[in-house]
Structure 1
């Protein structure tokens, strides 16, 4: 048995859910998930992934905690301001669930680092809400055959989707590049950010991740969910893989930072 007696007690309520049991909880224990970005969207994602019993959780973020972001980053506390997000997140999450291994990664996602960062992880969740970073991760996931989930929140509007994921017929779902025209429809660059909408989208992503890791059929793979929180409306879009685009992206590999329009920041001095 993978779970200890203490873990079985700790997770007794999710284990009691019909269809989960010890077997499914052990699947979560065996999972290794990399979350890129521990800010407004990443904060609720890492909190509930950790609390659910994921075995290994990588938290990649080179930024620091700011006072004006606290309303949508509840994993942190006021005394954490100006400290590194990844390190403080790992500390806070361990205090809630010591059974998950939390690894802070104080590294920017860029062409020179992304291959190294993917090693050992089963699934990548990009919570950066940053187009160049989405593209770097997408291309690297195609090259290294890693499933990839990402999403964004813009005021009351949001979207999230699963890319490069296995489908029931044995094929693989669309890439992020295949969905770019659709994701643009959900972008709203007006000022401001609402904490509750970031939390709501984070919870939806975690629910889908848990189902994916438990092999629940008809999940997020190949679907893009568009959400209007103001009017409480959700649209589900079936994504079609552009085979030629996917193959050309895989053949080209990870491009340069300049090609992605990615601004390189100095390495973190720990």
Structure 2
């Protein structure tokens, strides 16, 4: 890739950066997920800095309410895809770099393929289902993740899945193991956000990307930084790996693609009874319970006890059929059955007794009736 020496002259003059640092930027591939309030400054600064390949994922179109904080767009862009408007301006800002657009919604079905082709990911989304999906995919693919979030007058920045002083790689789940209950999630549309705040936080995310690529400075690995626009106060808290979270993350690509993150983040799983193998067998033998396998059809091992098969993907459309008072769910590893139990608890409340098999049918392999 050829470069314009004058364009990056200030980088070349920087001690510990210079030509070598600029070349690392030009060879880097960075995926930015979300082209909104955070994504706009991230993209502008990374493009201007000479990041060789920028991928942009966003399926949304520009609306009038975006213009208060999303500075890549103008009134003339209203109704057009954000990724296309952003790409047009970024190419004018720096025609030397490659811009790849994905005008689609990131889902568990396409996340693996899109994230796999990049060196690192910048999370500029504004919802929990996307954050957990991005985190889990980055953990499985071993991709550094630069996180940012804004709310009212405060913003947060962190860097996940990067080795630091210890050998462990901390991820978003070490900070927030599971999604909050739906009634605990703040509504940004109602609470609002100061228009300049995403610019500040996005700029910090872009800085962390540049530091990671070039090796300069010290990244926010293992720390969450919070910044207030009202007072200019900032503080960092340490993120630790004291509590294991690997059991909350899908084991592989196949399980990731079967995880319905929008459902996971729509229903609380707090208070659901978890059964170990002995308790599971005792419960299904002593009680008149409805036993439900929420795996997709054809998954093995097959269950050798009476049950019904209702895949998690079709669970909500089958709720009217669940007439028994006691319902026990199971899946391959316990992750999907826990989410299914949350859906049932949200729907039935205390009307039914709902439980699930912890660690899934795999935990039954050394247990017999």
Q: TM-score range by the shorter chain?
A: 0.7 to 0.9
Cα gap change, 1:182 to 1:205, in 2 (>3 Å): farther
- Aligned pairs for 1:98-113 (under 5 A) are 98-113=95-110
Q: Distance in 2 between matches of 1:210 and 1:157?
A: 23
- What is the aligned partner in structure 2 of residue 267 from structure 1? none
Partner of 1:265: none
Name the structure 2 match of 1:203: 203
Q: Which residue of 2 aligns with 1:127?
A: 124
Q: Deviations over 1:91-110 (max 9, x none)?
A: 11000101110111111111
The structure, 1 or 2, with the larger RCO (C-alpha pairs under 8 Å, 6+ apart) is 1
Query: C-alpha distance in 2, partners of 1:220/1:89?
Result: 27
Aligned to 1:53: 50
Listed as ranges, the matches of 1:29-44 within 5 Å are: 29-44=26-41
Report the 3-state secondary structure (helix = DSSP H, G, I; strand = E; otherwise coil) of the residue aligned with 2:67: helix
1:88 counterpart = 2:92 = no
SS of 1:74 mapped into structure 2? coil
TM-superposed CA distance for 1:119, in Å, is: 2.2
Q: Is the 8 A contact 2:146 2:159 kept in 1?
A: yes
Q: In the alignment, which residue of structure 1 is the partner of 2:260? A: 256
In 2, distance between residues paired with 1:69 and 1:121? 28
> How has the CA–CA distance of structure 1 residues 200 and 135 changed in structure 2, closer, same or farther, with 3 Å as cutoff?
same
Once structures 1 and 2 are overlaid, which stretch shifts more, 237-246 or 131-140? 237-246
Alpha carbons of structure 1 residues 182 and 161: separation in structure 2 relative to 1, 3 Å: farther
Does 1:225 pair with 2:225?
Answer: yes
Larger Rg: 2
How far off its partner does 1:251 sit? 2.4
Alpha carbons 1:67, 1:78 under 8 Å: kept = yes
Cα pair distance change 1:70/1:248, threshold 3 Å: closer
Equivalents in 2 of 1:19, 1:186: separation in Å? 43
Q: Which residue of 1 aligns with 2:309?
A: none
Instruction: Please give the alpha-carbon distance, in whole angstroms, between the structure 1 residues aligned to 2:141 and 2:46.
Output: 23
After superposition, the Cα gap between the structure-2 partners of 1:29 and 1:244, relative to the gap in structure 1 and judged at 3 Å, is same
Give runs of aligned pairs for residues 92-241 of structure 1, distance below 5 A: 92-169=89-166, 171-180=167-176, 189=188, 191-241=191-241
Contact 2:146 2:208 (C-alpha < 8 Å) held by counterparts:
no
Distance 1:95 1:21 in 2: 24
Q: Which ranges of structure 1 fall in alignment gaps of 5 or more residues?
A: 263-270
How far has the Cα of 1:218 moved from its partner? Answer: 2.7
Say what the alpha-carbon RMSD is for the aligned residues: 2.4
The verdict on how the C-alpha distance between 1:159 and 1:103 changes in structure 2, with shifts beyond 3 A counting, is: same
1:1-53 CA-to-partner distances (Å, cap 9, x unmatched) read x5x3x422211112212221100000111110000000111111111111111
- 2: CA distance between counterparts of 1:187 and 1:11? 41
